[in-house]
Amino acid sequence: MLSTTIINSFKNLKILCIGDIMLDKFLYGEVDRISPEAPVPVFKITKEKSMLGGTGNVIANLASLRIKTMFIGAAGNDESCVMLERFLNETGCEYSLIKPENYPTTTKIRMIASNNHIVRADKETDLHLIPKEIEELKNFVDNALPKCHIVLLSDYKKGLLTQETTGMIIELCKKHNKKILVDPKEKDFSKYSGADIVKPNLKEFELVSGEKFDTGADDFKDKISFSARKVMKNYNISSLLITLSKDGMIYIPSDTEQESVYISAEAKEVFDVSGAGDTSLAVLGASIATGAYINDAMKLANLASGIVVGKLGTACVTPSELKNAIIADNAKGKLSQGLKIISADEAVEIASELKSQGKIIGFTNGCFDVMHLGHIHSFAGAKKECDYLFVGINSDKSVKHIKGEQFPLQDEKTRAYVAASLEFVDYVILFDEDTAVELVKKIKPDVIAKEGLSLQNWPEAQFVTSYGGKVVELERIEDYSTTSVLKKIDNLQKDGVLNV
């Protein structure tokens, strides 16, 4: 089962991206008439948006996943570069730019009406680095490599990654013992000789191999694996990961002793495929850098791509989106409630991510031994105060210490599953202490809510008050409690109505 642990490890990474950066501009508008000057539609602009493109979109995705980044590339001395640098600074990226004379920053302008691309206009010139600039590039790479965990090479065939410079970069990566993952655009893979993983799409691989492949054929995996190993042998590449669009992706190692790994893609409502490959590269590279198995890295990259193709324009994926996708994927055919039961450390990570998105985090806690209307009313009231409700539940050990060895009547797993089954509850955390104070100190909710307690007898709420959080004393529903339920059961036993 795919784990969110991989995503939690992203914050410990630093990834070096090298490649062709560009500025993506999106002009949104509407077309409702034909120009009187010529038989062409009139595009009325209603909104403009600019963002990092090319390798910049890889960086933006890494930053969105809370991963520290470095970037090395080329841009011009122009207004577009000023905007690029502003965007790079906003991501927190450490960057080094070569700025050749008379070289314009690559800019792509897309016009979009009613979620449809009307036209794309490009401003670009092929880059031709002179020896002095190649030496500058070498120094940038050599200085950055000791500080990174993995190198992502994003080739958009704009001139930075030539046969000479790519070979030089891969050689430096080997010298520093850094794994290198390449997103190629070149038909001649000799350029990527020595790379650990090269990630072409199917069309790109067909151009390199000189063969056509039917993804629906029974022998597709065998045929493409055989062809891939010939390509890897010819070009000294360790492995290929071929993306197959709607048909998923396949990883083929050069070692014939290892089997190929294939994963299918899920059907998605596609609005825009802009940048989906960049998202896949970012998530794949980050996952591999954490030490994840290749099949898990592929699944995560596949889920991330599925998220961004459902968005309009060049888009990024967030940790919470990716975690939710994992939960949905893992829940197929299983009890999804169990996936809402998390550890205290996971709760801290998730709460922090949600807070960064401006969400209000709520908290309540209890034993919840025999679930009744009073508990439901309490959860519903707490949920009204927040966007996400975290529920702390006393473990069996904790309940026994508080109430005695005969309790709880239901074990912690049962109690946690029942609470997680409620629509009001977003996450459940078990804790061993008598109170949830330590858990509250870790999560630091914006709101804490509970019925039946005043502030002076409520240590969790006292802590929340100390940092300016909101405390809500929920209205108690009378005649509903675990004690009253047990009393009714006891009376039924005494009357001979119930035999236990």
The residue among 307, 330, 353 that closes a domain is 330
My answer on whether 74 and 203 are in the same domain is yes
Find the largest Cα–Cα distance for the chain: 97
432 flagged as catalytic: no
Structure token pair of residue 72: 């090395």
Q: Which residues span the domain enclosing 287?
A: 5-330
Residue 131 within any structural domain of the chain: yes
My answer on whether 401 and 464 are in the same domain is yes
Name the most confidently modeled range: 228-237, 263-272, 453-462: 228-237
pTM of the model: 0.71
My answer on whether 231 and 323 are in the same domain is yes
**Catalytic site residue from 196, 272, 278, 446:** 278
Q: Which residues pair with 108 in a beta bridge?
A: 24, 122
Note the pLDDT tens digit of each residue in 62-100. Answer: 999 999 999 999 999 999 999 999 999 999 999 999 999
Neighbours of 214 (CB within 10 A): 10
Note the pLDDT tens digit of each residue in 257-314. Answer: 888 999 887 544 434 445 578 899 999 999 999 999 999 999 999 888 888 776 655 5
Residues 138-150 as b/e (b if ≥16 CB within 10 A, e otherwise) read eebbeebbeebbb
Residue 499 within any structural domain of the chain: no
7: left (phi over 0), alpha (psi -120 to 50) or beta: alpha
Span 398-413, average pLDDT:
90
My answer on whether 371 and 264 are in the same domain is no
Structure token pair of residue 448: 């804490």
My answer on whether 359 and 240 are in the same domain is no
User: Cα dihedral sign for 383, 386, 388, 391?
Assistant: negative
My answer on whether 128 and 58 are in the same domain is yes
| Interacting residues of 108 by C-beta distance below 8 A, sequence separation 6+ | 22, 23, 24, 25, 53, 120, 121, 122, 123, 124
The domain that holds 396 is classified in CATH as: 3.40.50.620
126 has pLDDT over 50? yes
Q: Characterize the bridge pairing of strands 116-123 and 150-154.
A: unpaired
Which residue in the block uniquely carries the two structure tokens 């190929």? 260
Residue 365 within any structural domain of the chain: yes
DSSP for 97-142, written as a single string: EE--TT-PPPEEEEEEETTEEEEEEEE-------HHHHHHHHHHHH
The total number of structural domains in the chain stands at 2
My answer on whether 107 and 10 are in the same domain is yes
My answer on whether 152 and 253 are in the same domain is yes
Span 370-392, average pLDDT:
91
